[in-house]
């Protein structure tokens, strides 16, 4: 099998480049068609049935001795220590190691193993980040040492986290992170990554110091929130021991069940979820020729080009400015379109609810915040399809990097000469797998939307959910369309 | 009548598809003028397993890099270059000139190796 060199020339560009072939036309049209047909099929199934209970079956895995044996305190401690070690190693290799992106552990660790690999794990298995977050472990260790030394005092000002602040800090951080991932030209420069990591760690620890640490993590730490959203889709949930329950539970549950809520989520959380969805979609859209056309139009428009020219004096590249603008535009568009759909849903349903004698006190806010999580399965499916090949090819870089993380010609485990195999996954697997995943994600989303509609609208659920279903079909079709576009730029 | 047309269309296409199943040598001549391709499409498509030869001519000295296969050639006005390889890896690979800044869409042409 043909292999590609693991250490291309020094002026390397395009770390994380994907060589995926676009979906064939017939395949993506079939996928879109299947999406529409299955939406009707699922709705038809609901017409005949009695209202479905929103409770879902759970199986406590910790019931089984094998699981208790494997998932004991020592395994957790070792995993956390390993995560801290990897974090410190990543910062060090970024700051001090070889600055070629392919020879430095930092680039692969952050953009492939952590952001893609951990996202896969959290979406498909469970919330691993909650468990191993190195920033949390380091802070907790420092707090324990402080408590031992300073006779029981806590390492935190423990200011009450203001409810109004919600998850807005996480929204801002995540927007910045998305910009860094999708638009920033220096995202592959190890030293800049090392600095960014160190700064973010400092910022997080500051938040944990000022407020209650767990409150900050749950509201302000963008990645705890982001991986948490993905993990709601996953089939496992860890429920810690609390007052009336002496033992923690590790529940096995149906895929997507964690996205069912009994109450609407907060406004800032809704915006966070929509931001996540919009950045995932923009990630793919950015590589299409349509985006290239937007770039060309921006450069050729007189008004814009004068503005861009002025900005280039300040060191901003024209395409980067355009892409930043479109990234933000996507986020705003997602919130606006979703809000509009919720408003339409309400207009659609209010008449019926009143005629049925049900007083309707629902607001567009409540509707939006009740339905937003149901879109997550579509985004998860698209994200998995978009990144699977990267995980499989660029993920192989871990093998030579394990022997030489700093790029200083070490060979700790003898694998430094390993050459990445780009032909490891057949395009057919990628094509059929992607379409299957996205259609399945869509069906799960439709089902979840039905459950949300039942909770809000009672027996008018089927009618009430129509605007949302139209939105879902459009979103799924957009995802498929993006996968069918040849990658440019 | 319509049925006959359909059968005729399939019959004319069939030999071409059958021939393409075996590994074929595929030669392309690509001319660069001022860093851009002339008279060639955006994308070259070959089948996995084909023996591919890309002959480059340019009016300016340039370095071209085929990503994925990691093949680099230098082409100059007096010295045309050839990229010769077996298309074993399926995918969509850009051929980019070296020396341009980050962030600009700068592929000269794309090579698609279909499975």
Q: A401-411, pLDDT tens digit by residue?
A: 999 999 999 99
Going by their DSSP bridges, the two strands B51-58 and B25-33 should be labelled as parallel
DSSP A126: -
Question: Of A222, A253, A284, at which residue does a domain stop?
Answer: A253
Contacts of A298 (CB under 8 A, 6+ apart): A304, A305, A308, A318, A322
Total structural domains in chain B? 1
Which residue on chain A is closest to B101 by alpha carbon? A13
The pLDDT assigned to B16 comes to 39
Q: Radius of gyration over alpha carbons of chain B, in Å?
A: 17
The pLDDT assigned to A352 comes to 77
**pLDDT top residue among A353 and A488:** A488
Q: Are residues A219 and A283 in the same domain?
A: no
Q: Are residues A74 and A35 in the same domain?
A: no
HSE-CB of A466 using CA atoms within 13 angstroms: 10
Chain B residues touching residue A17 (CB < 8 angstroms): 67
Domain region containing A306: 20-56+254-267+274-489
- CATH label of the domain that carries residue B50: 2.60.40.420
* Residue B44 forms part of a structural domain: yes
DSSP A112: I
**pLDDT top residue among B54 and B105:** B54
Kindly report the pTM of this predicted structure.
Answer: 0.89
Residue A310 has pLDDT above 80, yes or no: no
* Residue A7 forms part of a structural domain: no
Total structural domains in chain A? 2
Reported ipTM: the value is: 0.85
Domain region containing B58: 24-114
Cα dist from A7 to A102, A417, A418, A462, whole Å: 6, 9, 10, 56
* Residue A172 forms part of a structural domain: yes
* Residue A10 forms part of a structural domain: no
Q: Which residues does B contribute to its contact with A (CB < 8 Å)?
A: 43, 67-70, 72, 86, 88-93, 96, 98-99, 101-105, 107, 110, 112, 114-115
* Residue B56 forms part of a structural domain: yes
Q: Are residues A226 and A336 in the same domain?
A: no
Q: What are phi and psi of A260, to 5 degrees?
A: -80, 130
What DSSP line would sit under B49-89, residue for residue?
Answer: T-EEEEEEEESS-EEEEETTTTEEEEEBTTB-EEEEEE--S
Question: Which 3 state secondary structure label does DSSP give A31?
Answer: helix
Q: Are residues A49 and A73 in the same domain?
A: no
* Residue A181 forms part of a structural domain: yes
Q: Which of A178, A152, A173 is nearest to A217 (CA)?
A: A173
* Residue B7 forms part of a structural domain: no
Chain B residues touching residue A13 (CB < 8 angstroms): 96, 102
Q: Are residues A295 and A398 in the same domain?
A: yes
State pLDDT tens for residues A259-303: 998 889 999 999 999 999 999 999 999 999 999 999 888 878 777
Instruction: Tell me how far apart the alpha carbons of residues B7 and A335 are, in angstroms, rounded to a whole number.
Output: 52
Q: Are residues A467 and A330 in the same domain?
A: yes
Cα dist from A303 to A300, A315, B41, whole Å: 9, 19, 32
Strands across the sheet containing B62-66: B43-47, B109-114, B91-97, B62-66, B71-75
What integer is the mean pLDDT of A394-404? Answer: 93
Q: For residue A27, how far is the Cα from the chain centroid?
A: 26
Q: Are residues A341 and A404 in the same domain?
A: yes
């Amino acid at each position: 099998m043909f292999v590609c060199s693991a250490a291309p020339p020094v002026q390397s560009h395009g770390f994380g480049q994907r060589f995926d072939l676009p979906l064939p036309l017939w395949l993506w049209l079939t996928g879109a068609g299947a999406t529409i047909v299955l939406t009707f099929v699922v709705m038809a199934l609901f017409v005949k049935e009695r209202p479905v209970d929103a409770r879902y079956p759970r199986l406590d895995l910790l019931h089984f001795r094998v699981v208790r044996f494997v998932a004991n305190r020592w395994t957790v401690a070792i995993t956390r220590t390993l995560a801290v070690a990897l974090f410190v190693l990543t910062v060090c290799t970024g700051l001090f190691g070889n600055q070629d992106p392919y020879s430095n552990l930092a680039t692969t660790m952050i953009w492939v193993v952590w952001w893609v690999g951990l996202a896969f794990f959290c979406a498909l298995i469970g919330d691993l980040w909650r468990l191993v977050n190195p920033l949390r472990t380091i802070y907790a260790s420092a707090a324990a040492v402080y408590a031992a030394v300073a006779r029981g005092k806590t390492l935190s000002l423990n200011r009450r986290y203001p409810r109004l602040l919600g998850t807005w800090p996480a929204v801002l951080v995540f927007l910045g992170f998305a910009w860094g991932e999708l638009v920033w030209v220096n995202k592959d420069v190890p030293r800049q990554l090392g600095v960014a990591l160190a700064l973010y760690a400092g910022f997080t620890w500051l938040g944990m110091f000022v407020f209650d640490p767990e409150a900050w993590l749950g509201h302000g730490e963008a990645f705890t929130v982001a991986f948490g959203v993905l993990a709601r889709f996953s089939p496992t949930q860890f429920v810690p021991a609390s007052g009336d329950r002496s033992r923690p539970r590790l529940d096995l549950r149906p895929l997507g069940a964690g996205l069912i809520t009994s109450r609407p989520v907060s406004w800032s959380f809704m915006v966070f979820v929509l931001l996540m969805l919009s950045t995932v979609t923009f990630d793919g859209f950015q590589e299409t020729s349509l985006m290239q056309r937007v770039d060309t139009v921006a450069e050729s428009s007189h008004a814009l080009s004068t503005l861009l020219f002025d900005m280039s004096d300040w060191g901003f590249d024209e395409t980067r400015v355009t892409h930043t603008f479109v990234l933000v535009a996507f986020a705003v568009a997602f919130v606006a379109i979703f809000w509009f759909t919720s408003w339409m849903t309400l207009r659609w349903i209010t008449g019926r609810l009143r005629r049925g004698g049900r007083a309707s006190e629902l607001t567009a806010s409540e509707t939006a915040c009740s339905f937003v999580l149901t879109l997550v399965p579509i985004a998860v499916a698209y994200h998995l399809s978009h990144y699977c090949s990267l995980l499989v090819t660029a993920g192989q870089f871990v093998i030579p990097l394990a022997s030489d993380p700093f790029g200083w010609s070490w060979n700790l485990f003898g694998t430094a000469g390993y050459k990445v195999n780009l032909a490891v996954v057949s395009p057919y697997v990628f094509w059929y797998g992607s379409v299957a995943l996205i259609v399945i994600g869509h069906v799960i989303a439709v089902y979840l939307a039905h459950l949300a509609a039942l909770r809000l609208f009672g027996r008018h659920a089927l009618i009430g959910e129509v605007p949302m279903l139209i939105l879902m079909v459009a979103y799924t079709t957009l995802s498929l369309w993006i996968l069918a576009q040849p990658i440019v730029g | 009548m319509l049925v006959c047309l359909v059968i005729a269309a399939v019959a004319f296409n069939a030999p071409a598809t059958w021939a393409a199943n075996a590994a074929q040598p595929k030669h392309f001549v690509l001319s660069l003028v001022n860093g851009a391709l002339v008279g060639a499409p955006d994308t070259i498509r070959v089948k996995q397993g084909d023996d591919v030869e890309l002959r480059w001519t340019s009016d300016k000295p340039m370095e071209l890099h085929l990503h994925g296969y990691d093949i680099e050639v230098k082409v100059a006005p007096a010295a045309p270059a050839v990229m010769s390889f077996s298309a074993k890896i399926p995918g969509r690979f850009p051929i980019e000139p070296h020396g341009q800044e980050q962030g600009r869409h700068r592929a000269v042409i794309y090579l698609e190796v279909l499975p």
